[in-house]
Amino acid sequence: MGDRAPDFALPNQDGLLIRLRDFIGKKVVVLFFYPKDDSPGCRIEACGFRDTYIDFKDAGAEVIGISSDSVESHKRFASKYKIPYHILSDRGGKVRKLYGVPSTLGIIPGRVTYIIDKQGYIRYIFSSQFNPRRHVEEALKIVERLRQT
């Protein structure tokens, strides 16, 4: 925490290139890494962010999800669950590695949420592979706190 968030450019579910730097100076970014589209825990987490998305927007934040799934997989996932935010395809896990997201048991990509302030600094990190709902709760709490500062 306190480090500058590494910049990245990845395609979203519509194939559009999304860069972190496009949000710096404008919004707090809730960046969550998740293991796999349509797996039970990831569905819970993604839909939790979907259900509270307006709360994040009202607090001046943008939500961005990242996994190693393909753009096509993300498109199906986003369509099926009506995901309103960007889901980015990190094929090969380059950005996951850049952020130091660990694997669980050495094989399952980790579930970690980063809160990046408007200046581009990481202000909070929450890691829990087995409590996907808590990622949403923790993120909203921190975003609200940042809004008040």
- 73 Cα distance to chain centroid: 16
Between CA 29 and CA 84, with CA 9 as vertex, the angle to 5 degrees is: 50
Q: Are 47 and 136 in contact (CB under 8 A)?
A: no
Cα–Cα distances in angstroms (integers) from residue 98 to residues 54, 82, 102, 103, in the given order? 29, 29, 11, 13
Q: Are 11 and 88 in contact (CB under 8 A)?
A: yes
| Residues with catalytic function | 42
DSSP codes, 26-81: T-EEEEEE-S-TTSHHHHHHHHHHHHTHHHHHHTTEEEEEEESS-HHHHHHHHHHH
